[in-house]
Amino acid sequence: DENLKEAPATPPYNLSEYFKQFLFPQNECELHNFRLSFSQLKWDRWIIAPHRYSPQYCKGDCPRVVGHRYGSPVHTMVQNLIYERLDPSVPKPSCVPAEYSPLSVLTIEPDGSIVYKEYEDMIATKCTCR
Amino acid sequence: LQHRAGSERLPGLLVAPGAVSSALNPVLQLPGGAGHGSALLPPLLKVLAERGPRRWDGEAPRLRPDARALRYMKRLYRMSATKEGIPKANKSHLYNTVRLFTPCSEHKHRHRDVVRGDVHSVDLLFNLDRVTALEHLLKSVLLYSFDTSAPVSSSITGTCHLSVKEHGFSSHVCPSLSHSLAFSLHFQVRKRKWVEIDVTSFLQPLIATKRRNIHMAVNFTCLLGDPQHNTELENAINMVLVPPSLLLYLNDTSEQAYHRWNALRHRWKNPARPRQRNSPRLNPAGDTGKENSQGQRASRQRR
Q: In 3-state terms, what secondary structure has residue B269?
A: helix
Rg (Cα) of chain A, in Å, rounded? 23
Q: In 3-state terms, what secondary structure has residue A83?
A: helix
| Residues B99 and A112: beta-carbon distance below 8 Å | no
CA distance B7 to chain A (A): 16
Amino acid identity, position A61: D
Candidate from B76, B101, B277 with C-beta closest to A30: B277
Q: What ranges in chain B are assigned the alpha helix state H?
A: 18-23, 37-40, 43-49, 67-80, 200-208, 230-240, 260-269, 293-302
Burial of B175 (C-beta count, 10 Å sphere; 0-12/13-18/19+): exposed
Q: What is the secondary structure of B39-95 as a DSSP string? A: HHS-HHHHHHHTT-GGGSSS----PPPPHHHHHHHHHHHHHHB-TTSPBPTT---S-
pLDDT at B172 over 90: no
pLDDT digits (tens, 9 = 90+) for A11-56: 556 777 766 655 666 788 899 999 999 888 888 888 999 999 999 9
pLDDT at A95 over 90: yes
Is the pLDDT higher at A69 or at B290? A69
CA distance A94 to B252: 33
pLDDT digits (tens, 9 = 90+) for B45-58: 555 555 443 444 44
Selected for mutation to probe chain B from A23, A29, A115 (highest B CB count within 10 Å) is A115
* Mean pLDDT in residue range A82-89: 92
At CA A64, angle to CA A59 and CA A69, rounded to 5? Answer: 70
Identify the bridge partners of residue A120 per DSSP, sorted by sequence position: none
pLDDT over 70 percentage in chain A: 79
Amino acid identity, position A45: R
Q: Give chain A's end-to-end CA distance (angstroms, integer).
A: 49
CA distance B109 to B3: 62
pLDDT digits (tens, 9 = 90+) for B60-103: 456 778 888 999 999 999 999 998 899 988 777 789 999 999 98
Amino acid identity, position B49: A
Tell me which chain B residues have a C-beta less than 8 angstroms from the C-beta of A32: 280-281, 283, 286
CA distance B212 to B228: 45
pLDDT band at B239 (very low <50, low <70, confident <90, very high): very low
Provide ipTM, 2 decimals. Answer: 0.76
